[in-house]
Structure 1
Amino acid sequence: MTDQAVDTDGATAGGAVPSPARASLESTRAQFVGRRRELKELRADVDRAGLDTLSGRKAPRARVLLVAGRPGSGRTALAEELVRQLADDYPDGVLRAHLTDPDGTPVPTERTARGLLDALAVPAPPGAAEDDLAETLRAALADRRALLLLDDAADAGQVDALLPDTPDCLVVAVAEGPLTGIPDVRPCTLGGLDKEAAVELLARAAGPVRITVDPGSAESLVEVCAAHPATLVLAGGWLAVRPKAAVADLAKRVRALPEEGSALARVFGHTYASLPSPAARILRLLCLAPAGHIDPHTASALAGCSVSGAKTTLDDFVELGLVRAVPSSLPQYEVPGCLVPLLRARTESQDKPGEIQLARARMLERTVRLLQSCRAVTEPEDATARGKIAGLPPALRFPSRQAAAEWLSVRQPALLAAARLAVADGELDTLARRLMAALTRALVAHRGTEAAAPELYGIHQLVLGVAERRNLPREQAAALLNLADLDAQTGRTRDALARYRAALDAGRAANDPYATGRAMESVGGAYQELGDWSRASDWFGRALAHRLARDERVDAARLYGRIGTVHTYAGRYGEALRNWSSAVTGHRRNGDVTAQARALSEMARVQEYAGRPEESLRTCQEAVEWARQAEDVRLQAALQLRLADTLERLGDPAAARLHRSAAERMLGEELPQVARLERNGGAEPSAYEIRSASAED
């Protein structure tokens, strides 16, 4: 039984879905040693009667088991082994979340809850509030028997917000100290390994032969390493790459080191000092990797070396126990969380601030180029974007759309973390803007706007932050429009309205006619959704005047229709008919036959509402002719149904049956759907545009 030598703190910072390494229970089992007593205590706590049970009440929430210990103590490994042993008792599966970023920043509950909902395949609207997402998560778990592993909790509040409201679930939390505030939690506090387990862990890392032939030296090395799992892995890694080195020699060297800092810091310093200068530089710069996710491109860009050279160095670090390889379809690595502060301290002391900033800039620039290549591979062969990537180095090109989509999926947590870090840095805003624009385009190209909406919402919020900080009203307007569109899609109409108004102010400040016109029309649309017909028609009228002043005839014709729709809802049929007539005229002048047919169709509907069935019949017949010219079969069928209804009201059921038969021949099985739309006024789901915040590619 086990204790994994290196804690997994920091491996999946910022996301609720763990890395494949953490998800692999078999891998954990293979590495785990010791901790028999702790496992026994934790398993006993699962069945222990809680305070509610003792008082005769049914437990209202899930039981929480706490594994407490310092980073590197094997706390996550113990939690994973416990989860592995209990997994069969929870048929709805294991959910994992990491609650602290590598820099020590607590992960927002919104991000964690959304990740857990994704793992459950439960949809969560983009931009939903933290409390709403937490409530959705609790509702999703209410009828499930699941096991949650919440790693590296910074405080009790993070765990409490995610606790299922059912005793059928179990939560295993990992933290450095007690979670004060959560009732009925008894921590299992970890220290060093027992001597037998520590020697076994050292043997696994260094190889069993030297440990077996010199057990006394092995025990001496365990002693100077304080039986600390992460420290033992580093010591074993140093021995593993030096087959001729004696265990006693390493124990003597470590014992001779100054008694400053922890055993982990001393052994790490010894290993670090043995690295060649280029490798040491790569290692310490890995602390800059977003969310602790590393691939050869990230290491290559940070250090300014080749991708192949970076991969070789990373593989060497794996052997030394300095990084871990993550099982993945692509080369992926992670720095143990307990080593991140040690790396950061060396970076700050040995690298100049300008060099650190340059490394970050190289990493962001490389990421932008990869994202551009990832998007370009989705374009047709003759597209300009495909021509651009042909000139890129082979390492930056994707062989196929599938390969690019796989890279985007695997690297998404790191890409989103890179965007957040770039914005928080504040010194690389130009690169940050390019990164967010490229990431937006890549996500839309591979997944579509609707599927990528949750990620896009977060990106647009970051864009807005940069635009406000840098006083960039044009980009501020674009970000506000994008966020408002997503708010409107998810029913937060009043939030959308406030953002549309703010976008209008920003568009005017930027003298951006597109943003100004778009915002005015969207304000009208929001008022229409709220049923405020007067304000809706007023704002559509302002947008129409703006379009007419710029001679934007296509948009003007469309706006006449929107004004006509609002007047129809308000029962002002005369005004509605005048605007629909203007829409018909505008579409005819623009040569848009389909739009003209649709406008005539709506005009016929208003005439019928106004009690003019004969006029409605004539207008509808004219619309059918234009729909036939446009070869719009669905519209033709809808109009045939409209004609049938009108003829029935005029007392001609035979003609009505003919038109219904014609609609049935056109659409067959689609007819019920078209008829339903026709009864609903022809309403289709609204489409909202996702606009990039930057014109740069």
Structure 2
Amino acid sequence: MTPVRNMIKPAGLLGLGLGEANAGAVTIWLRGDGKSMWFGLLGPLSVREGDRVLPLGGPKRRALLAALLLQANRPVSLSGLQSAMWGEEPPATAVASLYNHVGRLRRALGAEGTSRLSSTPHGLLLRVAEGELDVQEFTALLARAHAARVRRGWQDVSRHTSAALALWRGQPLSDLPELHALEVEVRHLCQTHLQALEWYFEAELQLGRHVEVIPELGRWAGRHRLHEALHVLLITALYRSGRQAEALEAFETVRTALAEELGVDPGAALRHVHLRVLTADPLIVGRSTAADETAPGALALTARSGVSLTIPAAVGAGGTEETSAQPEPGRQHTVPVPAQLPAETPLFTGRQSELRRLCKVLEQAANGDGPHVVTVTGMGGVGKSALAVHAAHLLRDRFPDGQLHLDLRGFGASAPRETHEVLASLLADLHTATSSASVRLLPDHTDDRAALLRTVLADRRILLVLDNARDSAQVLPLLPGTGACAVIVTSRNTLTDLPTAEHLPLAPMDIEEQRALLTALCGSDRVDQDLDGALRILAACAGLPLALRIIGARLAARPAWPLATLADRLAPDGPGRLTALAAGQLEVRATFASSYLALRDSDQHTEREAARAFRLVGLWSGQVLSPGPAAAMFDRTPDEAERLLERLVDSHLLESPAPLRYRLHDLLAEYAAERAHADETAQEREAALLRLCVWYALAVESTRTILRETGQLPPRLNQAPPAPLPIFADETRTLAWCRQELTNIGEAIRQAGQGPRPDLAWRLAVWLFGYMRTSWWAGQGEDFLDQALRIADQHHDRLGRGWLLRYLGITHGMARRLDKCVQALQDALALFDDPESKASIHCNLSVAHTAAGQADQALVHARAAFDLHRQAGSAPRLTALVVSSMADALRTAGRHTEAEDHYEAALALWRERGDANSTAITLSNLGDVMRGLGRHQDAFAALYEAQDIFERIGNISAMADNLITMARTHADFSEWPQARIRVLQAIDLAERHHLGPWLSEAHEVLTTIESAHAAES
């Protein structure tokens, strides 16, 4: 994409300079205090308050602001913001970092930051008033230009496009090094800019200013060597200016560029204007006056109103079905052109990218580069038929031999149409008799009919819309073999085996398209008056056009209803969305049912199995599953589960957001749950959920082989897995699996609490602690422990309550909530009778008192743990924990030499066990002891090794803590610059990850370091 630097100078205007200074061309919204705010996206990202340019910070914060401005006054989901800032693979710390950037962005926006940027249930929303955002001004001006163009008001078209182009300062967001998810929006803005240029130059030609625009038009055409519309306008302007040779040279230039770079010939419009230049067509010289021509110089092709069609005699054996009358020898049989396209969907909105792709294929076929087949696939209600019919209407004039439309009834209450009968219908439509003559019989065999259809279509330009196809077998015999025909096939199945490279999958609408459609259906005033209700409706409809059109119909029939009234009926605690999403013959539930019932009632065992898989997944709605846990739920092998899941993806009853990851669309999840309760017994539902919860419990338990636990291990489940468990190769992959499955583990805890095995809830929560030791600061692990504790309390589970309190106590301790830590551990101590459990809890109590600086109590608990440990003869892992807790207590008491001996012993035990996290913690504490002993080299050797391990395993809080220890150590040796660097690193880390206690401690250390440095100086 080429940055824009030149000036457009239309006649009668001062010029449209596109430099930075033109930011002032925006209509500024004035507040009561006389200040103004302006946001600029059409060029480098810029924010001004009055005459002052606001500093925005680094690329991530600028990407955040850009993503919010591109959806101004609409909420943007956190996942959407993360994609804009980091792409498809955000780091594990993305959420915390995002909130940190949001806070800084609020501050950058000044006093208005909090009121402008706010959180909503659907994401973050940036409020922008009218006249404050250049993109909104640009779009509004283009809308006025479009309206003027429709009524052929060329002066207004020129004026509005000139004003729009004055806002353009260069390529949008050119200052962002990586656009990530914003690249699509930038491309859209660049395409819109090209549209504005086209309309501006078109208006200038219509106004007779062809001589004046040639220099600027030539520059733009040169920059966009493959943009045919600009070259059509340039050739027209040159010819009208008496420069025929240059016009022909301009055509040759673009023809060569298209051939060399794309391997294609010029399109119809270029060929048409070229022909008119060659033939000195007088229409190209003056203004166009024909009513059916809208382009300058009469560049539009005139469609034929009818054609003469001859049907060749059938080949092969005769049949029993009649077709049309046979024409007399030597005469062609003139027939009316079929025009079977159904009426367009009212207020068709959105889908511009898909529409362009679809129209491009149809154009290629109409230009003789055919035949072309394009499939439009997606879930029921996503708008496949509406898109196909809309595109067919747009280009129907390019297929003068007719447009045919057939509903193949692949999904619905009635049986799919037989190909044999469909072929008869098509041939009859193409050969309707207009005079009496002898009867020609159709062939008996389907293959012969398909061959006859290919013969009839061979030399025609016909558009076929084959709607609602069941599978490829239903479609293949209906396809043309040669010629310039085009075929659009819509289906809820993927149809990947059709002979075409043009597959257009249709996903649910994005938030911008949804809002545009809702606004078109019920009016912008109604939406603006109740924006909250509108957003709730959009969330409930989940991007499904059918659902939105039902909402539009219901609102149209109830003009007195505010949007909030209907939004309440769509809420989770309402009567149910699927019940509310019905209006007349439009019903979301019925649409979903036609897809599901086609599988459930199929003659094929695999499809019936897929229907069962669909309703079972509905019991786990809202979560992303992989084949492993799905195999447990389905009671099948992982390979069988994967095939069933992929079959559901092919039927668009399931989404696959990543390889071998599957989820239900929001509305389909509700329908799948309905089918599970209707078509599965209570025993079958309970058994499926139990298998899945057991699988997750055993999978999480098996992570212990890699994520080695400190201290005493929780009791094993000792149960065979219902499906093969994941194999964990190393610590990194194990942590990645836990991170990926966290949401499912949380759902398993919830489901276990409602099922026959509530003990699975606490087992899942306590075994997950191996992962949570390195990621506790995110808060999810603590939430799971709290949830499991409530379940254990409800079922009076003493064992579960004891283990959960132990881990909650440790979690409180890591978060520096020491009073809560001690209380939870004391409560847990009362629930255990065995010496090993008590020893482990005393160790943790010792660590808690150490952190609180209570050396005496820390030593009391450390000695109690040591005595109980000897009494129990516990496992080596508990030995390491006991020795570590004694070392911590001695360090707190200032007995550094004794502490060093214990740390060295504990370090050897942790290294032997391969426990990376405990090894690093011990190294960090040993480094602090070496600081106290004045051993500079030994201290930093231990601290640097600890930091490397923490970084590798991603223990953010421990990294911050270790940096603070490093800062203190540098300060003790009067290394003031290094001390300051380390403490500032700790502050940055704590700010980015919202580590409150470490942030406070780091600031205190910074103050101490600066005071000590000043005193020493």
Length-normalised TM-score, structure 1: 0.48
Length-normalised TM-score, structure 2: 0.35
Higher relative helix content: 1
Higher relative contact order (CA 8 A, sep 6+): 1
